[in-house]
Amino acid sequence: MITKTTFKAGAVQFDVKIGNVRENLSVALSHLEHLADQGACLGVCPEFFLTGFDNENITRLMPAVKEGIQRLTEFARNRSMAVAGSLPEQGNGQIFNTLYLIDADGEIRIRYRKLHLFPLTGEHLYYARGDEMVTADTSLGRVGTMICYDLRFPELARRLFLDGARLFVVSAQWPLARVAHWQALIRARAIENQAWFICCNRTGTDPDGLVFPGSSMIVDPNGSVLAQGDDEPGIIMADIDMDLVDLVRQTIPVEQDRRGDIYG
């Protein structure tokens, strides 16, 4: 597999319609096409971007989700663009919140099941927790994955860093009430781990009145925000230079200087 060192990456944010897989897929593909037309090699979508948190009906939606994944793999292969985002996944009689990364050849390189389920929305009542951290080699380098609430756990990001992650993909449905946390945590995780962060958050309002601010972000290994969305549906995009990871890590050798003998 040829690994790119410079490429364009983007995020597609939109108002995810609860339970309407067909409409959500159409909107996601339209935005992804726009990214591909501008030369992007990676497009990141929000958390549960095909279904929303239609918790009571999620099992019924699984056949449509599987068809959606097939459409997304075909798109990735036809446009030579990696696609990532969180979707419900059925396994062992349970439903997981799983981030898929479909590489530019149409192959699924990552299935990461969310480790930290958000108790304030009752996510743990409907979905099973994952039990494995995931990094993988892709056409864009070694990628680590996180979903929404995971951003609040620096231990996870650090373990992915120690496993070689150079680019992090994050899907979220992060509410407006805590958007300042979203913005600060992304920059902190990027600075701590000296890696690129491509983070996508949804827009709009869910049926319970919870408002989502968009504010998708692309942050470089220095913590600089290269692109940030507003609260409207659309795309953001930035040029990614993976050599910057090496430069930052050589300048401030965090991995070399960390005291794993003291704190693990």
What integer pLDDT is reported at residue 255 of this predicted model?
96
28/25 Cα distance (integer angstroms): 5
On whether the pTM is more than 0.95, the answer is yes
Question: Coil, strand, or helix at residue 251?
Answer: helix
d(CA 10, CA 217): 9
- Provide the CA 232 distance to its chain's centre, in angstroms: 19
What is the number of alpha carbons within 13 Å of residue 64 lying toward its C-beta?
A: 16
Average of per-residue pLDDT across 223-246: 98
Residue percentage of the chain with pLDDT more than 90: 97
pLDDT band for position 120 (50/70/90)?
very high
Per-residue model confidence (pLDDT) at position 1: 65
The DSSP output letter for 128 is: B
Give the model confidence (pLDDT) of 182-230 as tens digits: 999 999 999 999 999 999 999 999 998 999 999 999 999 999 999 999 9
Q: What is the pLDDT of residue 3?
A: 81
pLDDT for 15-34, tens place per residue? 999 999 999 999 999 999 99
Query: Encoding tokens for residue 76?
Result: 């990735």
Mean pLDDT of the chain: 97
Three-state DSSP class for residue 106: coil
Read off the pLDDT of each residue in 48-60 and give the average, rounded to a whole number. 97
- pLDDT computed for residue 4 by the predictor: 80
| Active-site amino acid positions | 47, 114, 148
pLDDT digits (tens, 9 = 90+) for 127-172: 999 999 999 999 999 999 999 999 999 999 999 999 999 999 999 9
Domain 8-252 has CATH 3.60.110.10: yes
